[in-house]
Amino acid sequence: MVLLFCQRTFAVIFEIYFFRGFMIRFRLKELIAEKEFREQRKITLIEVAEKTGVNRTSLSKMQNPANRHSTTTAAVDALCNYFGCSVGELMVHVPDPQDPA
């Protein structure tokens, strides 16, 4: 997988989305549930953190839709590799319902 943004650019794009009233939602809960079903076993955030190198606290923040959490392309790449998914399957762009646009 080739990601075309550098980490700094990616973080800046996330911040622009937040200030404009948009949100990027991570689908970690869904992906963990799918992987648990496929592998017929329980998967914890601790395991995901160990396998991906992404901090467990960051994963927890990504998993909570109330949090607007930015991350790096390295973390996105590691999570996509772990779950065997694309960026579009890991993250979803959701317009902010409070934005009058």
Region at 53 (left for phi over 0; alpha for psi -120 to 50; beta for the rest): left
Whether the per-residue pLDDT at 73 is higher than 60: the answer is yes
The total domain count for the chain is 1
Are 28 and 96 in contact by the 8 Å Cβ rule? The answer is no
For residue 40, tell me if it sits in a domain.
Answer: no
Are 90 and 80 in contact by the 8 Å Cβ rule? The answer is yes
For residue 1, tell me if it sits in a domain.
Answer: no
pLDDT of residue 97: 65
Q: What is the pLDDT of residues 5-29, one digit of tens each?
A: 444 444 444 444 444 455 788 999 9
For residue 10, tell me if it sits in a domain.
Answer: no
**DSSP one-letter string for 79-96:** HHHHHT--HHHHEEEEE-
Question: How many Cα atoms within 13 Å fall on the side-chain side of residue 29?
Answer: 8
- Local confidence band at 3 (pLDDT 50, 70, 90 cut-offs): very low
Q: Which domain holds residue 71?
A: 48-95
Record the pTM. Answer: 0.72
